[in-house]
Amino acid sequence: MGVRLMVVDDHRLLAEALASALKLRGHRVLAAAAPAAGAADLVISRAPEVCLLGTAAPAEAGTFDPVVKIKRERPQVAVVVLGPVPSPRGIAAAFAAGASGYVRHDERIEGVERAMLKARAGEAAVAPALLQGAFGELLNPAAQPDDEGARLLSMLTPREVEVLVRVAEGEDTRQIAAGMGIAPSTARTHVQRVLMKLGVGSRLEAAALAARTGLLDRASTRS
């Protein structure tokens, strides 16, 4: 059975070309949209089974904000990212934001189709070669002169680090307050300060950023 899908890419020509190819293979394309940054609302309104999200810069901050928004409003929509081979943390950022898969943008149409079907079935859709490369670099990391995780961690007080860990674990304000023995208003203030220092607008974004940069791992080491 064909997949009901949307194709989103900053380059409309690429989105329309991929949409046309998938239509010829029996899939139902609800829309081919651009730019990606403004397409989340359209995906939310159309509610496809799968959204193919193309990006040329997976490592840039905010690239996967549309994924976060889509998954928050339409958790049943499977998002598959199409992009260049990023750093391992780029792949991690896509999945932390809620993506169901990551496919190289030079993959053959058959590979894209397989990823769509796996994502619709609730499986992780990522090529073994990408995973091997990611694990290889994570196990044997190159020196990083500008470690974003360390930089962000240095901006937070020990109390704010604890708040971030609790946010990442899904605790709400009342749970944070109870766990730390502080008033809910104080917990709320700490959360707002953490969001401001990390430069994000929501708790979900803070958790995704912490996962992408390895900040939580560093926090546990520091504690």
* Tokens at 90, concatenated: 């780029």
Is the confidence at residue 145, as pLDDT, over 70?
no
For residue 106, the model assigns a pLDDT of 82
pLDDT at 159 over 50: yes
Confidence of residue 128 (pLDDT cuts 50, 70, 90): low
Q: Are 173 and 191 in contact (CB under 8 A)?
A: yes
Give the pLDDT of residue 44: 93
pLDDT category, 186, cuts 50, 70, 90? very high
pLDDT of 68 > 60? The answer is: yes
How confident is the model at residue 129, as a pLDDT? 66
Residue 162 CA to residue 60 CA, distance in Å, equals 27
CA dist list (Å): 222 to 106, 125, 150, 158:
41, 34, 11, 9
Single-letter code of the amino acid located at 135: F
Average pLDDT score over the chain: 84
Q: Which of 56-65, 101-110, 145-154 has the highest mean pLDDT?
A: 101-110
pLDDT at 212 (0 to 100): 78
Amino acid code (one letter) for 119: A
